[in-house]
């Protein structure tokens, strides 16, 4: 179970390529039955793929933190995109545990993430996420 | 990508609401595209075993639809500068999400509009709450 001692742990995923086909698949999935709103563009929430997925996977597999996926809820999410990311960009993603609180039997893990494009040092995405773990028997 | 002109945006302006029925097929497509196969999204029996009424959409899929609604209003996704919300209630597979937004501030000198944004479902749940977005405007 996560606790205060895990604050400061950082998970890095350098070299995430913004692949056009991967961005297009996410755009199509967001559009569902409707036409894709901006064909060829990278959906802003594609950050889930180039920033959250590769870093969260490390967090979820960190045996010392011990996150139980079965009881995990995504409580909130914020994103800022200081510079729009482009197809073909390569970015370095990282996520850090910045807070752990236990309230009413639930564990609240606050994460901060950032994705930087090393080619020009531009921050293409930063944000925070709250993961809530319900108590398990 | 053409941003909205500062002179044309005023407090109280609203984003054209975007309604989209989110089917299990769409949730599966998102799971495959985003690589998020948490069984609460794709396995109804598992979802019920953890107290959900059935499979639910990924919060990030909902946020993606909300981002589309705001981006369309803002003249393109490159004009979306920030977006945040709380995932307050799950969106069940088969439910329709309705995304909305209202301008609450315009910073003419910075060329930024701030919007209260959110989403509800046709089942009566407020699924995305405490939402806030900022968009780039042209001067």
Secondary structure of A52-98 in the HEC alphabet? HHHHHHHHHCCCCCCCCHHHEEEEEEEEECCCCCCCCCEEEEEEEEE
Q: Do B77 and A26 touch (CB under 8 A)?
A: no
Q: Residues for chain B: how many in total?
A: 139
Residue of B nearest to A38 (CA): B76
The band of A136, judged by pLDDT with boundaries at 50, 70 and 90, is low
CA angle B122, B42, B124 (to 5 degrees): 15
State whether the Cα torsion A119-A122-A125-A127 is positive or negative: positive
Residue A72 has pLDDT above 90, yes or no: no
Q: Cα(B92)–Cα(B102) distance, rounded to whole angstroms?
A: 25
Whole-number percent of chain A with pLDDT over 90:
91
Q: Cα(B72)–Cα(A21) distance, rounded to whole angstroms?
A: 22
Q: Where is B41: in which H helix or E strand?
A: helix B39-42
Q: Cα(B52)–Cα(B62) distance, rounded to whole angstroms?
A: 17
State the pLDDT at residue B65: 98
Q: Cα(A69)–Cα(A61) distance, rounded to whole angstroms?
A: 10
* Interface mutation vs chain B, best among A34, A45, A74, most B CBs within 10 Å: A45
Q: Is A82 on the interface with B (CB under 8 A)?
A: yes
Question: Which ipTM did the prediction report?
Answer: 0.96
């Amino acid at each position: 179970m996560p606790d205060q001692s895990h604050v400061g742990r950082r998970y890095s995923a350098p070299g995430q390529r913004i692949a056009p086909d991967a961005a297009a698949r996410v755009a199509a999935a967001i559009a569902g039955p409707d036409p894709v709103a901006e064909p060829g563009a990278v959906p802003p929430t594609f950050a889930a793929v180039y920033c959250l997925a590769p870093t969260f996977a490390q967090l979820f597999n960190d045996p010392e933190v011990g996150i139980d996926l079965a009881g995990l809820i995504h409580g909130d999410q914020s994103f800022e995109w200081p510079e729009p990311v482009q197809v073909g960009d390569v970015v370095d993603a990282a996520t850090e545990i910045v807070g752990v609180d236990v309230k009413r039997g639930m564990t609240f893990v606050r994460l901060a993430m950032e994705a930087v494009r090393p080619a020009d040092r531009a921050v293409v995405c930063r944000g925070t996420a709250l993961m809530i773990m319900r108590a398990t028997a | 990508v053409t941003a909205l002109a500062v002179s044309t945006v005023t407090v109280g302006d609203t984003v054209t609401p975007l309604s989209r029925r989110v089917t299990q097929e769409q949730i599966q497509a998102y799971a495959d595209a985003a690589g998020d196969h948490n069984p609460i999204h794709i396995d109804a029996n598992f979802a019920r075993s953890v107290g959900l009424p059935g499979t639910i959409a990924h919060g990030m899929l909902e946020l993606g639809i909300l981002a589309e609604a705001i981006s369309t209003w803002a003249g393109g996704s490159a004009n979306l500068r920030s977006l945040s919300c709380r995932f307050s209630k799950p969106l069940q597979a088969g439910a329709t999400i309705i995304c909305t937004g209202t301008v609450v501030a315009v910073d003419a000198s910075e060329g930024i509009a701030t919007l209260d944004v959110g989403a509800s479902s046709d089942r009566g749940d407020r699924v995305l709450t405490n939402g806030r977005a900022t968009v780039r405007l042209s001067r």
